[in-house]
Structure formats: C-alpha cells, structure tokens
Structure 1
Amino acid sequence: MYNTKDKILNASIRLFNEYGVASVRLQQIADETGISVGNLAYHYKNKEAILSSVYDRIFNEFSEILSKYLQNPSFLDFDVQVSAYFNFFEDYQFYISDLFSKEHAVPEIKLKWQQFMNKMILQINRRIDFYVSQGDLRPEPSKDTYLIVSEAMWMSIVFWIPQQTMRNKPISEKRYKEALWSHLKPYFTQKGNAQFSDVILPILVK
C-alpha cells in the first residue's frame, strides 16, 4: 500500500515524463497527488527534495539492474538484463532531457548518471569479452572493435526509446531487444548462432 510520500513521487514521475522536470510546478504535483500544496510541503520542502527522492529510487533500481550481470553463462542472461533496461527507461522517460540539461537542479545527480553510464559501457565490454572466451563471439577482428560495439550498444540501450518517440515509431520490448542483439549478431561464431537460435529467437518471436 502506497503512503503519501510514495504517491507524491509516483505523481511527480508521471508529470516529469509528460512535461519535463523543469516545467513541473509544486502545485501540479499536489493536484496530481490529490493533496494540498501545504500537505505536500510537509513531506517535501521543495521540488529539489522531491527530485532527489525520485532519483534515489531511480538509482536504486538502476543498481539492481547492473547487479544482474553474468548470473549464468548463456545469452539468456543478457536478454533478461535488456528486458530490465527496457522497463526502466520506459518508466523514467524524463531522464533524457534532465540528463542533458545545462544546469541541473541537483548537480550531484548529473555526476551520478555519468558514473552509471561509464559503468554500463564497462560492463557491456566485459560481457563481450566473456562471450569471446566462451566461444560465442569471434575474437576481436581489430583493435578497439569491441569497445566501439560496447559504446554503440550502450547508446541503443539508453537512447532507443526517446529516438523512437521522436520519430513517432512504435515502441516495444521485442523491437528494443532486436536493436540490441543486432550489434552482436555480426560477430557470432557458429556456436553463438546456434545458441541465439535456440535460446533468444523463441523469446523474440513470442
């Protein structure tokens, strides 16, 4: 059961997604929550306090996704993590404009995002190295090829939903996953192709 603080945060996230963080006012949040501004101020003294709590939730969820890393050696491990990323970035679509704002209301948040993004790229690169060691991906064809692939995959994970929205294209988990796997497929070995066909394709065609 949600308490008032949870309701305020949920209302704030809905408004941030619709209007962007900078455009949302406390009165809007109070109205969306169904409480008075005075009651809202009792729980959060200003919008910055609300934003900090929203990001506490976001970063906790993001840390949980990053922790779901190589829990088993198959491609399914990555596919499960990609599903979690899709749900996360769909739930918090306001992050994109907030992340690139020149003057963030809470500068520590921008620094935290940068740390998470760097960790994501490093984790993807290590995952690729692991799949190479397992014989699922070919050895790196030339220096830094897989670093470039890692960065391209990161861009797809983070920016696929907003670019689809911008182009008025359909958003679905299936298409999101297809975009991610397309970065790795050119480097599959015979073993990797077989595993993809046996494990991942049945998920994608559901």
Structure 2
Amino acid sequence: MKTKERILFKALELFNDHGLKDVTLRQIASSLEMSQGNLNYHFKTKAEIVSQLYFALVEKMDYEMNKISHDKPLLSFLYESAQVSMSILFQYRFITRDLYHLLGSDKTLKKHYLQLQQVRKQQYVLLFENLTHQGLMREEELEGEYERLYKRMNILGDNWVNAADFFNKEDASKVDYYHALLFEVIYPYLTKQGKKQYLDLFN
C-alpha cells in the first residue's frame, strides 16, 4: 500500500472511531509511526484528507451501484441499492455524522453534494414514476408528493448514523436495522400488488 493510501486508510479509521473534530494530523502521523513532516508532504491540511475521503466515498458508491443489475424488479433494485448505499455510508460514517458542518466549511464539497442530490432526486422520482406505471405504487394524491417522499428518504439516509450511534450500540446490526426502517417509508405508497412484492423481499 502506498504512503498516501496508508494515510487515508488510517485517517478514515481514526475519524470513524474518534470523530472528525478530535483527530489531528499529528495523531494520524503518530498512529502510522511517521513524522508529521512526512504526512504533510502528501497532505498539507486535514481538510485535504477529508476531501479525498469524501470523493472516495462517492466513487465507491457509484462503482457499487453500477454493479446492481438493472434487470431486477424495480422494488428489488430499490431495496438492494438502499442497502448498498447505507453499508458504504457506514464505512465512511464520520462524514454523515458531521455532514452539514463538513459541507458548510468546504464550498467545493457543498457544490458537489448539491449537484449530486439533484441527480439522485431525478433518479428516484423517475423510479417512483416507473413503479406507478407498473401498478406497484399508487398515483400521487398531492402535487409533488413523490418528490417530497424522496426528500424524506434522503434526510433519513443522511442522518441515520447519528441515530444509530445514540440508540443502537451493536455495530453489526446497525445497517440492517436502519435499512429496514428507511425502506419501510415506501410501504404506505404501494398498491396491493406492490405490498406483496415488498413483503416477499423480506421473506
């Protein structure tokens, strides 16, 4: 493993374990048994490390999402993509724990995140439209209802790690528990046929 990769790997571990605010460059260097000068040769600031890890998260998310077969039934695709997404977010959980502070202090990351959210919203709204056309979701009863459904799912997706830290200390069960909790948000919008497919996913 190259030095830069070792630094990122160790920084991710420390940020996840101790929180972004409480980890210094000196601590990262010390954990790697290297001088801070050597670390600063690769990363001059902690913000540079955080930025690299943020884009590593995005790249991993895109890679894993592209591996999911689009030939799956739409509900299965939605179920699996949510599970993959939450598993990756847990691997980079320091980012979601301090997401809004992190974005507020880095204009580049904020701009990228907002653009990414626009793309994700379009993808999910299209997915909801396709589920409706297939008779798995009911028609909208309120104007813009499914766009707001996406926003609720997005808020839950961005903040579930903090809730998991507070209410559930068993790391091994966090992702599965909160994935089921998040995915259940869609259940009231499903038709009878959609609800049957939903229940089949859990059986």
Letter in 1 for 2:17: E
Residue 131 (structure 1) aligns with: 131
* Residues 126-158 of structure 1 deviation map (CA, whole Å, 9 limit, x = unaligned): 211111111111111222221221111112222
Where 2:119 maps in the other structure, the secondary structure is helix
Q: Is the 8 A contact 1:68 1:81 kept in 2?
A: no
Q: Structure 2 stretches of 5 or more lacking a match?
A: none
Shift in CA distance, 68/127, structure 1 to aligned 2, threshold 3 Å: farther
CA RMSD of aligned residues (A): 2.4
Letter in 1 for 2:41: Y
* Residues 145-196 of structure 1 deviation map (CA, whole Å, 9 limit, x = unaligned): 2122111111222212212213346552332222122211112212212222
Identity of aligned residues (%): 25
1:184 paired residue among 176, 183, 186: 186
List structure 1 runs of 4+ shifted beyond 4 angstroms.
65-70, 102-105, 168-171
Letter in 2 for 1:201: F
State the aligned residue count: 200
Q: Is the 8 A contact 1:157 1:180 kept in 2?
A: yes
Residue 12 (structure 1) aligns with: 11
Q: Distance in 1 between matches of 2:143 and 2:69?
A: 24
Q: Is the 8 A contact 1:69 1:77 kept in 2?
A: yes
Q: Distance in 2 between matches of 1:37 and 1:67?
A: 38
TM-score (norm 1): 0.83
TM-score (norm 2): 0.84
Q: Distance in 1 between matches of 2:18 and 2:120?
A: 27
Q: Distance in 2 between matches of 1:59 and 1:33?
A: 25
* Residues 66-125 of structure 1 deviation map (CA, whole Å, 9 limit, x = unaligned): 546771251211111111111121111221354322885532112212222333233222
